[in-house]
Structure 1
Amino acid sequence: MLSRAVRLSCGVANGLRPAKISKSNFQQRANNSSISFNASDLTSKLKQAEATGIWQISEEVADALHSGSPIVALESAITTDGLPYPDNFDTAMELDAISRAAGAIPAHIAVIEGKIRVGLSEGEIYNLSYDTSKSVKLSRRDLGPAIAQKLTGGTTCAATMFIANACGIDIFSTGGLGGVHRNGENTLDISADLTELARTPITLLSAGVKSILDVGRTLEYLETQGVNVVTFGETHDFPAFYTPTSGFSSPWRARNIAEAADLIECQRQLSVSSGTLLAVPIPPEHASEGMQLQGIVDQAVREAEAQGIANRGKEVTPWILDRVRVLSEGRSILSNKALIRNTVSIGSQLAVHRSKANLKSSRSSFVPSLLDTSDGLVGEDTVSSNVQPVTPGSSTVETAAEMEQINAKVSSEPSLLVIGAAALDITTQPDGSIPFVVDSRVTVPGKVNLSLGGVARNVAEAAHRVLTDPTQTGETSPVLLIAPVGGDLFASAIRSGMQMIGMRTEGLYQRAHKTPVCAMHLDNEGELRNGVADMEFEADAEVIQILDSKSPRLVLFDGNLPSSQLTDIIRSCSDRNIPTFFEPTSTSKALKVIPAVQESMTLSQLGEKSPISYLSPNQLELNGLFEEARKSGLMESELWWQTVNNFALGAEFRAQLEQLSRWNNNCFRFLVEDGVAPICVNLLPFFQNIVVKCGPKGAFVASRISAEDASNSRWLSRTVAGTKDYMVAKGRDGRSHVALSVYPIDALTDSQVLNVTGAGDTLVGTIAAGLARDSSVFLDPSKLRATMRIAQIASARTLQSQDAVSPEVSQLTLSETHDMSMLAEEDQL
């Protein structure tokens, strides 16, 4: 059960609530939709609806309908009849939080004291949950009598679809759809859910149909009625509520949110009047429990038949589900909650995707068809008088060119692919006036912050902010993050947060494990003191599948991935000549790359190119990599010796290095005293370019320029007198060379530093962005100096921010680096 604090924070923390769309943007959407309407008429329609005494739409839902914001309809029968108290209330509030975290508005639908309510408050949901004895279960046929008698009740799928469609809401998430009952061929006991879906243009997401029903005949009935049945996932298996498979198949599948949205939009453009059933299997981690529950379901069905309950219409399902709850000792409730959470999460993401792409169904552009009482009648197909028919050649529908642009955005080829961890970071920091005590065993006043994190995600955000223009809202980001997430609330928060800043989310793939979460405890100065990381990573086939389908200029991956996954990534990129960038993440995780390097090494790679193009360790990670490479025997191979020997580093090199270390008031003495420079040189056969993050001391870069790249290198052409911030050593072949360069930074005062957890990731992301824009950065000292300067500025801004990546990084653009490189040519620092 989520606490009230968690429930509330999930929806509003750190700007995860969707921004309201302005009236001008709303009018623009109206002009592009397949019908025309006046925004002021919506308010008039809502007032007319309330004047009838039948409808009451919450201000939040009305505002969302008016602005075209994403909305997800939620039924109330699960609250009044599906789950016992307090599980019913807790689940309803969890679904509310999940929808909000994804960026959608939850529209709980019910009938309360004779009024159709669309959008319920927490108090109203509590009242429905606490005392269900006076509630009635309402299908479509029951709405009129219930309203006439001023009753309160939970709406079934059929009634919820009817109401949602009338309001212009085209996405509805629920647990399980009704269907043809067993022996239905004789009793004709067929749920009204099916007939309603057959005549309502809405997308209903459920975990298939309840396994207490006749799944085969249900699918046959839906086919006859023209309902599109689609499984959400990699297979065509049709789920059966508690289990991901039923033994039957869906005719279609949608592998991700984008495919599902495209399918729905095509249905809308065809003006298909029937609905779509998007069958979302129960999350994999609950599937094994579902198989056990299926045996209990079968027992409950037999008992219902023996006691004559199986022929009692709408009483059957609640009785069987309650019996399953008793027989399973409550375990079925956990599965019930898991599957409905999953469908609401997917439904909310789908609504957000469609809203962002302006692919709203025509009914969502006016409110609502049922509310037009100009003829004194209330009818489901009544259309408001301001709706105009679409004529051939009309400009009110999306043109082919516009649709091409939309499709291009979805499939746009990224220039930078980032693979690794996306997580939620929870940071705690005591008040500055209170001494930091590790084991005080008390709570202290301070700050708790929830933000998006994960090394790969942080790097991707920094690169995204630098490469995109924040004023161009329609711009597709050239950065794509590939990261695993779970089917949980945390995943919804990550997707929503990324979407809010314009990042792409199609690379977030769902798996059985939970979404990674990291809780960090900072001291008074903002330094990390301890924490807990709940992260599990496996070698997922999805990573290579996505990678192989793209052709980026650079692939960056972090140390959270397993060694076997690193090997696969390096091999895939090597086969296609795509440069690679490894961010070690931590000292222990960094070591996982050594087996991958060993397996990737070949004579041709070591002859000209190292297995990995770029490496970005701090000093501790660098030392750890060196020791691991030495212990593994990498530095005893003939190949390593041939490569290092070709560097031809002798007395002159040592003298130059000594001079470099003393530059800028001995700022870089650690290059010699701590052995940083020699370690880097020894690792260059494995990593072509090494960027060492040296904290407040700045950064150090060691690069191995191959004979192949020598003709494009400008390191040897730089002969300006007085240059002290870099050195170059020619190889024995006269063409290849090793370049070492240093990059000091302006120190920040302690009061300026808020936290240091994302500064390194921001630096790396900005460098990667520079490489994605211009692959020759490390071949030109001026370009590298300018890129490093921008990266250090970005890193400093993150140090002064509570976020993992400072929003102010968006103010920096790599277009500045060209001007900065020209200035660098003149002043040589």
Structure 2
Amino acid sequence: MQAAIAVRRVLGAKAGLVRLGRHLSMQVAPPVAEALRAGDAVVALESTIITHGMPYPQNLETAERVEEIIREQGAVPATVGILGGQLHVGLSRAQMERLARHERPCVKTSRRDLPCVMAKGLDGGTTVSGTLVAAARAGISVFVTGGVGGVHRGGHRTMDVSADLIDLGRAPVCCVCAGVKSILDVGRTLEVLETQGVCVVTLGESDRFPAFFTSDSGHRSPHHVTTCSEAAAVAYQHSELGLESGLLLAVPIPDQYRAEGRSIQAAIEQAVSEAEQQGVSGRDVTPFILARVNELTGGASLQANIHLVENNALHGAKVAVELAELKRNRGKRGRLEGSVTRAAAQSRDKVQKDDPAPDASGGRGVPTVIGGSIVDFVIKTTDKHLQMDGSTHRGHIAQSYGGVGRNVADALSRLGHRPHFVSAVGRDQLGLAVIANNPHMDWRCVDRRESLCTASYAVLVDSTGSVQFGVGDMDIHEAITPELVERHRASLVSSPLVVTDANTPSPSLSAAARLCAAAGVPIWFEPTDLRKAVKSAALLTAGHQPPVLYSSPNAAELHTMLTALTPDRPGAFHLLKGDQLLDACRDASLRLLEHFHCLLVTMGTNGVMISRRGGRSEPLPLGPGARALPAGGPTSCVHYPVTAASNVVNVSGAGDCFNAGFISGLLAGLAQDRCVQRGQQLALQAVACAAAVPDTLQLSDAPEPHQAPGVSRLP
């Protein structure tokens, strides 16, 4: 029945006039009618952005540019407006200019206003609500706008709720926008959308719901997809189900405009405050705030608004094209099943993220890892003599994926924990490769930068296996900013443990420490190398020491950290061997328990040493609200010998895999000895693999007879 109605609509559109119901008629432009009849992609656009959203000529220029973007993606734009009482779906340039210049008074036209505006023969710019009415009746599946209306602040008292929300619940259309305006009550807006049966989905690498000029409204989106193809698959299922409610696809502000967006957001807050102080209310609030924000930002809000609409048009057109292709190929299940499978996998991952297994502290959540993502290139020459004169040498070049933070997140993901991973990569081929080759990881908290290259490291190894030199391009690590950490505050404060590496800039480490301190979330700090180990001092002396702090240095890094955190400079004990090394590490790590709760010192073939506050059988604190034992109380120090590896291929990821195994034990509520056992199992698997993290990791908590128990090394 619905298909027959759609056919009648389109056939009517061919003649140029569609009569729908008893009171509403509309003119469909020939290009739009032709595209609808052919099943091609069509994107509806509102016209209040022309009549009320911007001054002339920016309003006309923006409208033309948005239509051009949609055409470039292979879709047909259909701007909706009212001229002389006639509702048009698809405006010519002359018609848009008439509305832009206000040649006749223009009425801001919502659903409720349509009958009067049309009966009186007026011109009107259709709002989100009015455009949804026209799009649904014309059979257009995708509608692009800037931002939708919502529940106004204080709306629970005034009942000031935008008609946009009601029509989103009535029109089976995918509305692509930048979320809702931040001047609104975002939480209550999402609640009303749920009540109206609107499927709300965020498109991008974060699951945070955007609010126009900010990518994070402070609320998590009910659903999340990462690509336009996945969004189209969701829209296809929405269409196939015949749901009478709509689909809201929220597209966050582009990365390059986020700094500008933050300054605009500050102006919005000031304008809202001024509106309250001056008693501005009702329908006058929004015009007052928009005018005041434009004044406060010197016009920057207008430019940001334009960029947002253009970005929404780009993504909306891509979704429309993909959706039209899915509908066209209903009988060819291959591509459809692929897209739907991706969407289903994303939905499953969202459920796992929202409701993981309980952690050892009795709370719920998954760990968070903050750190570097690096693509490694190992260049090994087979020539016996290395000539540094421009000669070409025979050899092998291998590409793999590293970065301490990425390695730990990779290993934990392979063990089923799938942590939130906060990092940065470029929008380049290496960035695409590191994400595509690690699909088991959660990349939604990773910032992707247009102007920076993905971190890479190239090392030259001679025929004997000795490293000659390395070159690292690590500038993008500076993109792991305090703002990025703050953006993912919800993930951090709900985690049972936050793991950071020293590739993270010191201000960002301090930002993470401050957030974790407030929530009582323990931090695990991985120094990564000698130079960066000093960063731990900045982390610990920032004035926000978390209640629990773990660190996992090797012997050399332990020496560097002790030098940085104590006034007297110890000897170079990391050059020692055997029992002398063990005793030196014991003494140093026990001294550092003034700053840490637990130190895990990796010593290569000499094994691992765990120095901590409390005894080895006491539970290690974990989870939000965890508390450390006070400094100065009883301590313990246990040395765990390592099982000799029979086949050593690469040791670069052994320490990171050990940490992941130990952390997995913490998350499972295991005792210290069992956590170490897990770590040593993974370290042995790692050294036998060319990659830093093996493709498959196996854990067994059964006692291993060949594994030596820990030996206490108290003074």
TM-score grouping bracket, smaller chain normalisation? 0.5 to 0.7
The one-letter code of the counterpart of 1:787 is R
Per-residue displacement from partner, 1:113-148 (whole Å, max 9, x unpaired)?
xxxxxxxxxxxxxxxxxxxxxxxx986616989x9x
Assess, with a 3 A threshold, how the Cα gap between structure 1 residues 742 and 366 changes in structure 2: closer, same or farther. same
2:506 maps to amino acid: S
Query: Paired residue for 1:115?
Result: none
The aligned residue for residue 582 of structure 1 is 525
Looking at structure 2, the residues matched to 252 and 547 of structure 1 have their Cα atoms a distance apart, in angstroms, of 14
Return the letter of the residue paired with 2:503. N
1:628 Cα deviation from its structure 2 partner: 1.4
Distance in 2 separating the partners of 1:234 and 1:514:
30
Q: CA separation in 1, counterparts of 2:425 and 2:677?
A: 39
Deviations 1:748-804 (A, max 9, x none): 67xx52x44433322222222222223521xx4xx355234313313313xx31x33
Contact 1:616 1:693 in 2 (8 A): yes
The residue type paired with residue 477 of structure 2 is M
Query: How far does residue 504 in structure 1 lie from its aligned partner after superposition?
Result: 3.5
Describe the shift of the 1:366–1:284 C-alpha distance in structure 2 as closer, same or farther (beyond 3 A). closer
1:438-587 map, 5 Å: 440-441=389-390, 446-465=395-414, 467=415, 477-485=416-424, 488-489=427-428, 493-499=433-439, 501=440, 503-508=441-446, 514=452, 516-524=454-462, 525=465, 527=467, 529-533=470-474, 534-536=476-478, 537-539=480-482, 540-550=485-495, 552=496, 554-574=497-517, 576-587=519-530
Q: Distance in 1 between matches of 2:81 and 2:144?
A: 23
Contact 1:425/1:450, CA 8 A, preserved across alignment: yes
Contact 1:345/1:488, CA 8 A, preserved across alignment: no
**Deviation per CA, 1:514-573, whole angstroms, max 9, x where unpaired?**
5742232341438472322232221131232221234x2x33222233334434444544
Q: Which residue of 2 aligns with 1:817?
A: 701
**Cα distance, 1:616 vs structure 2:** 1.0
Alpha-carbon distance, 1:455 to partner: 1.8
Counterpart of 2:330?
368
Report the AA paired with residue 741 of structure 1.
Answer: H
Partners of 2:168 and 2:247 within 8 A in 1: no
Match of 1:94 in 2: none
Higher relative contact order (CA 8 A, sep 6+): 1
Instruction: Give, as a single letter, the amino acid of the residue that structure 2 aligns with 1:271.
Output: G
How far did residue 583 of structure 1 move? 0.9
Residue 408 (structure 1) shift: 3.7
Deviations 1:678-705 (A, max 9, x none): 322221221222222334x343314123
Q: Distance in 2 between matches of 1:144 and 1:365?
A: 13
Q: Deviation per CA, 1:14-51, whole angstroms, max 9, x where unpaired?
A: xxxxxxxxxxxxxxxxxxxxxxxxxxxxxxxxxxxxxx
Distance 1:362 1:178 in 2: 14
* d(CA) in 2 for partners of 1:541, 1:461: 23
> Structure 1 residue 235: deviation in Å?
5.5
Instruction: Give the aligned partner of residue 114 of structure 1.
Output: none
Residue identity opposite 2:472 in structure 1? G
Deviation string, structure 1 residues 717-776 (Cα, Å, up to 9, x no partner):
xxxxxxxxxxxxxx999x823314142452567xx52x4443332222222222222352
- The offset of 1:627, in angstroms, is 1.7
- CA shift digits 1:553-597 (9 cap, x unpaired): x33222233334434444544555544321112333322221321
* Counterpart for residue 746 of structure 1: 644
Does 2:616 correspond to 1:616?
no
User: Are residues 1:791 and 2:666 paired?
Assistant: no
Task: Verify: 1:433 aligned to 2:404, yes or no.
Answer: no
Aligned residue for 1:629? 565
One-letter amino acid matched to 1:692? V
SS state at 2:701 partner: helix
User: Structure 2 vs 1, CA of residues 559 and 599 (structure 1 numbering), >3 Å: closer, same or farther?
Assistant: same
For the Cα contact (< 8 Å) 2:502–2:527, is it kept in 1?
A: yes
Structure 2 CA distance for partners of 1:220 and 1:741, relative to 1, 3 Å:
closer
Aligned pairs for 1:49-60 within 5 A: none
Does the 8 Å contact 2:607/2:640 carry over to 1?
A: yes
**Structure 1 CA distance, aligned partners of 2:375 and 2:165?**
44
Deviation of 1:433 after TM superposition, in Å, equals 3.1
The answer to whether residue 699 in structure 2 is matched with residue 804 in structure 1 is no
CA positional deviation for 1:183: 8.8
State the secondary structure of the residue aligned to 2:657: helix
Cα distance per residue 1:94-120 (max 9 Å; x no partner): xxxxxxxxxxxxxxxxxxxxxxxxxxx
Report the equivalent of 1:720: none
Residue among 135, 155, 178 paired with 2:77: 178
SS at 1:680 equivalent: helix
Distance (whole Å) between structure 2 residues aligned to residue 732 and residue 687 of structure 1: 9
Distance in 2 between the 1:176 and 1:569 partners? 44
Is the 1:176–1:206 Cα contact (8 Å) retained in structure 2?
no
* 1:701 equivalent in alignment to 2:612: no
**Aligned residue identity for 1:619:** A
Match of 2:270 in 1: none
Distance 2:213 2:418 in 1: 40
The alignment's TM-score, normalised by the length of structure 1, stands at 0.47
1:242-287 alpha-carbon deviations (Å, 9 max, x no partner): xx999999x9998586279698599458623787573635623267
Query: 2: distance between equivalents of 1:454 and 1:747?
Result: 24
Conserved 8 A contact 2:525-2:551: yes
Cα gap change, 1:412 to 1:288, in 2 (>3 Å): closer
Q: Is the 8 A contact 1:770 1:787 kept in 2?
A: yes
Displacement of 1:458 in angstroms is: 1.0
Report the secondary structure of 1:768's partner residue: helix
CA distance in 2, matches of 1:601, 1:699: 33
Correspondence 1:12-91 to 2 at 5 A: none
1: distance between equivalents of 2:400 and 2:316? 22
Identity of aligned residues (%): 20
Partners of 1:820 and 1:560 in 2: CA distance: 36
| Offset from partner CA, 1:28-75 (integer Å, 9 cap, x none) | xxxxxxxxxxxxxxxxxxxxxxxxxxxxxxxxxxxxxxxxxxxxxxxx
Long gaps (5+) in structure 2: 1-29, 45-70, 92-130, 149-163, 185-209, 262-306, 334-344, 360-365, 621-629
Amino acid at match of 1:557: T
The partner residue of 1:258 within 224, 244, 261 is 224
Which whole-Å CA distance do the structure 2 matches of 1:792 and 1:825 have between them?
17
Residue in 1 that maps onto 2:242: 271
Residues 667 and 597 (structure 1 numbering): CA distance in 2 closer, same or farther, change over 3 Å? same
Kept in 2, the 8 Å contact 1:422–1:457? The answer is yes
Structure 1: state its 5+ residue gaps.
1-136, 148-154, 160-171, 210-217, 239-243, 291-334, 352-360, 372-401, 468-476, 606-610, 637-657, 715-730
Task: Check whether the contact 2:661–2:676 (CA below 8 A) recurs between aligned residues.
Answer: no
Question: Counterparts of 1:266 and 1:760 in 2: how far apart (Å)?
Answer: 45
Structure 2 length-normalised TM: 0.53
Cα gap change, 1:764 to 1:579, in 2 (>3 Å):
same
Any conservation in 2 of the 1:617–1:691 contact (CA below 8 Å)?
A: yes
Q: CA RMSD in A?
A: 6.0
* Correspondence 1:670 to 2:563: no
Matched, 1:766 2:635: no
